[in-house]
Amino acid sequence: EPEVTQTPSHQVTQMGQEVILRCVPISNHLYFYWYRQILGQKVEFLVSFYNNEISEKSEIFDDQFSVERPDGSNFTLKIRSTKLEDSAMYFCASGWSYEQYFGPGTRLTVT
Amino acid sequence: GNSVTQMEGPVTLSEEAFLTINCTYTATGYPSLFWYVQYPGEGLQLLLKATKADDKGSNKGFEATYRKETTSFHLEKGSVQVSDSAVYFCALRGGGTSYGKLTFGQGTILTVHP
């Protein structure tokens, strides 16, 4: 059964560094998403992406964040200058209709 | 804006016990409702869904009914197993599109003992 994959599973970075989180969505899906979950808190929506552009973004998704689908298969989330408060589990999801399929997540730790 | 509230956890049950995890929501329009499950070390998996009022979603013995009058979507299972131990998330997607963002509840940890 096709699944969403994410790499790396765990990323440790220093404050101020740039990080890129990678996702490979399910191949025939059209809509792509990033969510995050800070430890002990709710899963929060960051951004959705359709037809090679952002379709919706949350207040969290400020100028420090960007997304890209560089080659038609990968979907990346970049954080330009990480802050301590960016430490969280980041989930990628993809879908084509009502359902969204989630990857296993990347745990980002900013020190 | 949209919001989802789940019952406080964690929930601890013995095998074969009856499970209810309460979920209520606030939304404009006609949202779609979902339950996701997260097993240890894995991502969120869609467990069941309901896209309109009075729909019942069901999967793997779990059920939830979309109750517009009480704005609820409670998850139930008649007889839980140890393998059901996981975190359960209630979520909604606002009406109007089939691909919009999900709004999640805080998650409920379920532990089932033999």
Q: For B19-54, how does the pLDDT look when each residue is reduced to its tens digit (9 = 90+)?
A: 999 999 999 888 999 999 999 878 899 999 999 999
The tokens 């709710």 sit on which residue?
A42
Phi-psi domain of B9 (left: phi exceeds 0; alpha: psi -120 through 50; beta: other): beta
Find, in chain A, the residue whose alpha carbon is nearest to that of B39.
A104
pLDDT at B32: 92
Per-residue pLDDT tens listing for chain A (111 residues): 789 999 999 999 999 999 999 999 999 899 999 999 998 888 999 999 998 899 999 999 999 999 999 887 899 999 999 999 999 999 999 998 778 999 999 999 999
In B12-41, the residues whose Cβ lies within 8 Å of chain A are 32, 36, 41
d(CA B83, CA B34): 20
Computed on alpha carbons and rounded to an integer, the radius of gyration of chain A in Å comes to: 13
Tokens of B38: 């997260």
For the stretch B11-14, contacts whose Cβ atoms lie closer than 8 Å and that sit 24 or more positions apart, written own/partner, are B11/B108, B11/B109, B11/B110, B11/B111, B12/B110, B12/B111, B12/B112, B12/B113, B13/B80, B13/B110, B13/B111, B13/B112, B13/B113, B14/B112, B14/B113, B14/B114
pLDDT at B94: 82
Interface-testing mutation among B99, B108, B109, with chain A (most A C-beta atoms within 10 A)? B99
Task: Give A100 to chain B, closest Cα distance, Å.
Answer: 8
Q: What is the mean pLDDT of chain B?
A: 93
pLDDT at B97: 67
Q: CB B101 to CB A56 under 8 A?
A: yes
Q: CB B44 to CB A102 under 8 A?
A: yes
Residue pairs spanning A and B at CB distance below 8 A: 55
What is the number of alpha carbons within 13 Å of residue B20 lying toward its C-beta?
Answer: 7
In B77-96, the residues whose Cβ lies within 8 Å of chain A are 89, 91, 93
Find, in chain A, the residue whose alpha carbon is nearest to that of B95.
A98
Interface-testing mutation among B52, B102, B103, B106, with chain A (most A C-beta atoms within 10 A)? B102
pLDDT at A40: 83
Q: CB B46 to CB A99 under 8 A?
A: yes
